[in-house]
Structure 1
């Protein structure tokens, strides 16, 4: 079985960029993701890459889509 690898730097950059793209604080992003703020800090600093990073990335995509959709409705 060929498993995709992701580096801590890649994951860190992805999380940080996605959070910034929707203008959320780490605290608010953590709430939207269902994790604590410390987890987001570790992700963004490249301290940890979760074993289930693929599901985390999917969740981030959902959070970003919902946030963007809600911004369009408000404007």
Structure 2
């Protein structure tokens, strides 16, 4: 396990040990966990950038929720042209 996963596991343990945490305490724990989760997703994405699941997830997030800026068609066109030529 890498460093981020260990940190995330510690945060999840805190949540598991205190199931009756009040809303403020729980949101504090989630705020602590979110950057770790995001960092882990980025690591996974870098490692498996060609995986269909990652592409599907990114396009779904872009189309349905507009959480990330990602235009599949423009990226594909750029690859076909052979780079980022004007």
- TM-score range relative to shorter protein: 0.3 to 0.5
State TM-score, norm by structure 1.
0.39
Which of the two has greater helix per residue?
2
State TM-score, norm by structure 2.
0.35
Bigger radius of gyration, 1 or 2?
2
Q: Answer 1 or 2: higher relative contact order, Cα 8 Å, separation at least 6.
A: 1
